[in-house]
Structure 1
Amino acid sequence: MKTRKIIKKILLLLFLIVVFIPIYAFKIEPRLSVVHHIPLSYGEAKTELKVLQLSDIQVSESYQVNRLTKIVDKVNQKKPDIIVFTGDLFDNYSQYANETEIIQQLKNMQATIGKYAVWGNHDYGGGAANIYRYVMNSADFTVLQNDGETIDVNGKQVFIGGLDDSLLGNPSVDATLSYRSQVDYSILLTHEPDVADDFIGTDTQLVLAGHSHGGQVWLPFYQVTNVLAKKYTRGLYTLADGTKLYVNTGIGTTSVHARFGVIPEISVFEITF
């Protein structure tokens, strides 16, 4: 008799799990967001710089623009010096687009020094290539495409460079770094993380990437990976020469519009150099 009750309880528990997981993955976790703080120190570490990274918003019918309001609020609460966006603003531009509202949401993000963005593969597809730069520029983002600029931070020089998308664009590390002269700290933006190895040996301190979605659906026995996001999938890595790479798991979703074990992420780098 006790055995039957135990079996019934186990079956009920399994049933609830089977029902709850899809509801959580499709309806709850994609609407959450977490802020990760990553302290980084380099050299004499006397100057402070706060860089906030967003990636892979993937605006679509499944992630409509009004959901960005909470993200904007969290971004502004952190009072970043610099905001960077590492690509994939759209999921499929030809099926869902609302440029006016997107521009306003992105424009509401405040940074004391500047806002920068690079291209993602989805920003080229479905007609997005014709509008991406306009949208980002209208929202006060400087779009970097194999180029960069040097900014002054309390008397120290910081280079912000951006690589073109490595799947659908024409990326060039040499062209990007040709914009850099003598600086104290270098930050390079790329959509796809696995190309970060191309910056090894270039005296680059930090590479920021997205694209992977951290697998988007995490299972202990199976890790989903994307092209050019198989080696580096999520979080902080130290490359062969000491360069730091951070792979942001993104805000939105693609293909299957669910997240499980990979909560949408805002990453904040508290850099001292």
Structure 2
Amino acid sequence: MKRRDFLKTCFSFLVKGALLSTTGYMYAKYVEPRRLTVRQYDIVHPLIPKQFDGCRLLQFSDVHAGYHDTVEQFQRIVTKINGLAPHVICFTGDLLDEPNKYEHVDTMTALLQQLDAPLGKFCIYGNHDHGGYGTDIYKEMMEKSGFRLLVNEWVAIKQGNEQIVVAGLDDFMLGKPNFSKTVQRMPKNTYTIVLIHEPDLATQASAYPFHLQLSGHSHGGQIQLPWIGPLVTPPLAKQYVEGFYDIGQLTLYVNRGLGTTRMPFRFLTPPELTLFTLKAGS
């Protein structure tokens, strides 16, 4: 190859590389973080009562409001959730990125109040909810907006003379979680959903009478590469990153979350809402 042709080829590669990098940067920062997806799944289990056949449970997670995500964006999410008409709503932690620095607590609380679920709204602490002196801020926000905050406890949801159970543990990074306390006096042979912010605790949770664990925390890694997967995941989200896993009798689902933290990017991990439809069956 002549020197001139060689230089032209090198220049062409540099230009294409720069364009590709710029396009990837713009997409990961401005496009994918707003590409809200809705994943819908049927959950079939013999312990789901017939009265709950067709019950829709909506999970959302990891909003991280205040870190590049605006109140207007969350308003659109609230509208989307209500449009899916869930019977039950479960939030699996990390509402505000830095609770003590967030300036729109009242507005955010009012938006959470708008979420409609006739059989109840339930939530747990994430690590960011405890961090930034947020423990009491988060608790007040969720209770004012009609959510039942579960801290190492369970609650029964009843339809007629049948019931299912929703349990919730305190955060494992900054809280005081306690499995034994959570399952005290929990009814036997009852379909039980447990909310745990960090997914890797599923190994421990599988030793208890839980049937479905809903978690977040991982953000799906926020940035994934083809054939490689997530580049970085947070502590306690190394083993289980996104989607379904079976651990003994326990089914785990890891939600990719809605917001971002540390870096305002998403690539191949669009934000998600998850709608589960319970089905009585074998």
The TM tier, using the shorter chain, reads over 0.9
Aligned with residue 191 of structure 2, among 185, 190, 199: 185
User: What is the TM-score with the length of structure 1 in the denominator?
Assistant: 0.93
The structure-2 alpha-carbon separation of the partners of 1:162 and 1:14, relative to structure 1 and needing over 3 Å to count, comes to same
Shift of 1:154: 4.8
Specify the alignment match of 1:70 in structure 2: 76
Specify the alignment match of 2:278 in structure 1: 271
Question: What per-residue deviation string (whole Å, max 9, x for no partner) do you get for residues 12-53 of structure 1?
Answer: 443321111111111111122100012110117642321100
Distance 2:148 2:102 in 1: 24
Equivalent residues of 1:212, 1:249 under 8 A apart: yes
Specify the alignment match of 1:232 in structure 2: 240
Aligned with residue 85 of structure 1, among 75, 85, 91: 91
Specify the alignment match of 2:33 in structure 1: 30
Residues 99-248 of structure 1 aligned to structure 2 (within 5 Å): 99-220=105-226, 221=228, 223-239=231-247, 241-248=248-255
Equivalent residues of 2:67, 2:97 under 8 A apart: no
- The residue identity in structure 2 corresponding to 1:26 is K
Q: Which of structures 1 and 2 has the bigger CA Rg?
A: 2
Equivalent residues of 1:149, 1:179 under 8 A apart: no
User: What is the TM-score with the length of structure 2 in the denominator?
Assistant: 0.90
Query: Any idea what SS the aligned residue of 2:111 has?
Result: helix
Higher mean alpha-carbon deviation, 103-112 vs 39-48, is at 39-48
Query: Any idea what SS the aligned residue of 2:100 has?
Result: coil
Query: Any idea what SS the aligned residue of 2:252 has?
Result: strand
- The residue identity in structure 2 corresponding to 1:160 is V
Question: What per-residue deviation string (whole Å, max 9, x for no partner) do you get for residues 232-261 of structure 1?
Answer: 11111111x231100001001110111111
Shift of 1:95: 2.7
Aligned length: 271
Query: Any idea what SS the aligned residue of 2:210 has?
Result: coil
- The residue identity in structure 1 corresponding to 2:233 is T
Query: Any idea what SS the aligned residue of 1:255 has?
Result: coil
Distance 2:166 2:85 in 1: 19
Residues 6-21 of structure 1 aligned to structure 2 (within 5 Å): 11-21=14-24
Distance 1:151 1:96 in 2: 33
Distance 2:84 2:239 in 1: 30
Shift of 1:97: 3.1
Aligned with residue 256 of structure 1, among 245, 254, 263: 263
Gaps of 5+ in 2: none
The structure-2 alpha-carbon separation of the partners of 1:180 and 1:44, relative to structure 1 and needing over 3 Å to count, comes to closer
Gaps of 5+ in 1: none
- The residue identity in structure 1 corresponding to 2:178 is S
Identity %: 35
Shift of 1:63: 1.0
Equivalent residues of 1:158, 1:183 under 8 A apart: no
Higher mean alpha-carbon deviation, 141-150 vs 65-74, is at 65-74
Query: Any idea what SS the aligned residue of 1:135 has?
Result: helix
**2:60 counterpart of 1:54:** yes
Equivalent residues of 2:192, 2:212 under 8 A apart: yes
The RMSD of aligned alpha carbons is 2.0
Shift of 1:114: 0.4
Equivalent residues of 1:156, 1:183 under 8 A apart: no
